[in-house]
A and B are shown apart, each in its own frame.
Chain A
């Protein structure tokens, strides 16, 4: 068993490295502890400035309601539109609400209220969501106020009750944590193998190996297996953090997730080894693997929904392995997806694993 000796060597070299084993442990912890808070698309603390032309008890109550909302942060109530727009220009406020001078009267007499919401949409998501939240808040306030003040029930044209399935509270962390787990795997199992073989080229040790009768497959397997174990350890750390810190436990079975991760780790480590085989310096390898990792992360539905990409990008996604694992992860974590309901994704991952591992083996050349 030549493989045994090669594995022994790889494991010793990895463990003796002063940095790598620590990275493999600390990196997943760091990503899972820090990133879910930072990668949220939820908009909170929108700074609001109010132009109150009405100056009545009701308009004051509206201001209080805004102040009390967790989405808004009242930065001032001013007398003129000009003053308010100044605050937006100085980046002190994101959203401007102008209350008309007939606000209270219109409300109590049941007439239409013409208030104005302006949003700074330099940051589009923040501006758009901020304005929508504001509209919802004002509408809700108006309905409540009329009920209380007049005792009348306001006729509500149609009431839409939104029911979100699977992630009922629309918690972005639930969406992001499974994606971040994949990012951890992409980075650890992408970079480490990508630098491995090429570093043996730089030190010259690969020459001593190439002149031996060692099989290509044996050699590549000895490189793949350790990264496979490292990947499984890293994603297990992710699972534990997701559970302890975010209370996130898959609704489906861990077995399904591990099976998918096991396949994806093979894909990713193989991609790393392929890059390493084709590079002649560490610099080259690093540059190429970064390029690939960016493609993997941005064109896979990891961070943005695939359905909203242009058609050509959606075709690219088909050839992007992380796309399939992230589908499985979200399905299992949020919906309780089973192996059967994700058999297509499993099939694709399996196909990628076989193709990439073969490519890694074939691209290792013992003879120039």
Chain B
């Protein structure tokens, strides 16, 4: 944690280029402790790339970032000890059982052997998957898989959890349930950094940033953003920004 401020994530001119293509173009922002921070943007706007840099999965081309008090370039492994991550594509082991996945990741994050059954058991009960602990993960419906992946990502009590489109492809009820889990985690002090396409979900965030063509076009609370763009919904804010920036920078997709 930065001593002076209370920021868990700091990005300064964070940039990622692939050849001549600039996926993330000098973005700067801060995320405060305990916040639910929405990271919005159209497909290909650079959300996932930015998130992968913050998680220590991808090296920035230039600029710097600090997550949980550590530099994402030089101290990536220390960053990893303090974060949880749930990728866009479900990536727990489908050929392992629910319980085996929990045990594996708890073990990797050095949860003591004796505590794994206690912590893991309580978690399964909380997300309502206690009955399927011995089922293969591949047999679970997508909504359950997402809840499991999220819970595994925060099992070791990280300071921040990164969620990359965590609710893609499920019904509104399942999404609602998922957001209950997010609130619960945030309530217990875990900072949540979440990307999404769903503008109703953006309303649930404390603050949102909207990325267009690799840059952050706007960053504020949903309330302020709506006020600034004189609209009733985040949906309109999003469309105004994406359309406007799109014209400036020329069509991309």
Partners in one complex: yes
Interface residues of A (CB under 8 A from B): 2, 4-6, 8-9, 12-13, 16-17, 203-205, 207-214, 366-368
* Cα distance A214–B109 in the bound complex, in angstroms: 8
| Shortest Cβ-Cβ A-B pairs, 5 listed | A5-B107, A211-B85, A204-B91, A213-B81, A213-B80
Q: Is the CB–CB distance between A367 and B110 below 8 Å? A: no
Q: Is the CB–CB distance between B57 and A211 below 8 Å? A: yes
Interface residues of B (CB under 8 A from A): 52, 55-59, 76-78, 80-81, 83, 85, 87, 89-96, 100, 103-110
* Cα distance A212–B77 in the bound complex, in angstroms: 8
B253 → A minimal CB distance (Å): 24
A223 → B minimal CB distance (Å): 14
- 20 more CB-based (< 8 A) A-B contacts, given A211-B80, A213-B77: A4-B107, A5-B108, A6-B107, A8-B100, A9-B96, A13-B95, A13-B96, A203-B94, A207-B89, A207-B91, A208-B85, A208-B92, A210-B57, A211-B57, A212-B108, A213-B78, A366-B56, A367-B56, A368-B58, A368-B59
Q: Is the CB–CB distance between A208 and B100 below 8 Å? A: no
Q: Knowing A2-B110, A204-B87 are in contact, say whether A9-B104 is a contact too (CB < 8 A).
A: yes
* Cα distance A5–B80 in the bound complex, in angstroms: 18
Q: Knowing A9-B96, A211-B55, A367-B58 are in contact, say whether A204-B109 is a contact too (CB < 8 A).
A: no
Contact of A204 among B52, B80, B89, B105 (CB under 8 A): B89
B93 → A minimal CB distance (Å): 6
A221 → B minimal CB distance (Å): 14
Q: Knowing A2-B110, A203-B94 are in contact, say whether A212-B105 is a contact too (CB < 8 A).
A: yes
Q: Is the CB–CB distance between B93 and A211 below 8 Å? A: no
Q: Is the CB–CB distance between B91 and A203 below 8 Å? A: yes
In this complex, what residue of B is CB-closest to A17?
A: B95
Contact of A16 among B55, B95, B106 (CB under 8 A): B95
Residues from chain A with a CB closer than 8 A to the CB of B52 are 368
Contact of B57 among A12, A17, A207 (CB under 8 A): A207
* Cα distance A181–B94 in the bound complex, in angstroms: 35
Q: Knowing A5-B107, A12-B100 are in contact, say whether A208-B59 is a contact too (CB < 8 A).
A: no
Q: Is the CB–CB distance between A6 and B104 below 8 Å? A: yes
* Cα distance A337–B120 in the bound complex, in angstroms: 55
Residues from chain A with a CB closer than 8 A to the CB of B55 are 211
* Cα distance A13–B137 in the bound complex, in angstroms: 13
* Cα distance A2–B78 in the bound complex, in angstroms: 16
* Cα distance A268–B113 in the bound complex, in angstroms: 33
In this complex, what residue of A is CB-closest to B79?
A: A213
20 A/B residue pairs, CB under 8 Å, sorted by A = A6-B104, A6-B108, A12-B95, A12-B100, A13-B93, A204-B90, A205-B92, A207-B87, A208-B85, A208-B105, A210-B57, A211-B55, A211-B56, A211-B57, A211-B80, A212-B108, A214-B108, A367-B56, A368-B52, A368-B59
Contact of B108 among A2, A12, A13 (CB under 8 A): A2
A231 → B minimal CB distance (Å): 23
Residue of A6, A8, A212, A368 with most chain B CB atoms under a 10 A cut-off: A212
In this complex, what residue of A is CB-closest to B111?
A: A5
A18 → B minimal CB distance (Å): 11
A116 → B minimal CB distance (Å): 69
Q: Knowing A212-B109, A367-B57 are in contact, say whether A5-B103 is a contact too (CB < 8 A).
A: yes
Q: Is the CB–CB distance between B100 and A212 below 8 Å? A: no
* Cα distance A368–B16 in the bound complex, in angstroms: 11
* Cα distance A213–B70 in the bound complex, in angstroms: 13
Residues from chain A with a CB closer than 8 A to the CB of B78 are 213
* Cα distance A214–B93 in the bound complex, in angstroms: 16
Q: Is the CB–CB distance between B87 and A208 below 8 Å? A: yes
Q: Knowing A9-B104, A211-B83 are in contact, say whether A205-B91 is a contact too (CB < 8 A).
A: yes
* Cα distance A210–B96 in the bound complex, in angstroms: 18
* Cα distance A59–B94 in the bound complex, in angstroms: 77
* Cα distance A212–B78 in the bound complex, in angstroms: 10
In this complex, what residue of A is CB-closest to B86?
A: A208
In this complex, what residue of A is CB-closest to B72?
A: A367
In this complex, what residue of B is CB-closest to A2?
A: B108
Residues from chain B with a CB closer than 8 A to the CB of A8 are 100, 103-104
* Cα distance A203–B78 in the bound complex, in angstroms: 26
A197 → B minimal CB distance (Å): 14
Residues from chain A with a CB closer than 8 A to the CB of B105 are 208, 212
Residues from chain B with a CB closer than 8 A to the CB of A211 are 55-57, 80, 83, 85
Residues from chain B with a CB closer than 8 A to the CB of A203 are 91, 94
In this complex, what residue of A is CB-closest to B56?
A: A367
Q: Is the CB–CB distance between A208 and B58 below 8 Å? A: no
Q: Is the CB–CB distance between A367 and B96 below 8 Å? A: no
Residues from chain A with a CB closer than 8 A to the CB of B96 are 9, 12-13
A93 → B minimal CB distance (Å): 59
Residues from chain A with a CB closer than 8 A to the CB of B95 are 12-13, 16-17
* Cα distance A213–B56 in the bound complex, in angstroms: 10
Residues from chain B with a CB closer than 8 A to the CB of A13 are 93, 95-96
Residues from chain B with a CB closer than 8 A to the CB of A366 are 56-57, 76-77
Q: Is the CB–CB distance between A213 and B109 below 8 Å? A: yes
B229 → A minimal CB distance (Å): 35
Residues from chain A with a CB closer than 8 A to the CB of B87 are 204, 207-208
* Cα distance A366–B87 in the bound complex, in angstroms: 15
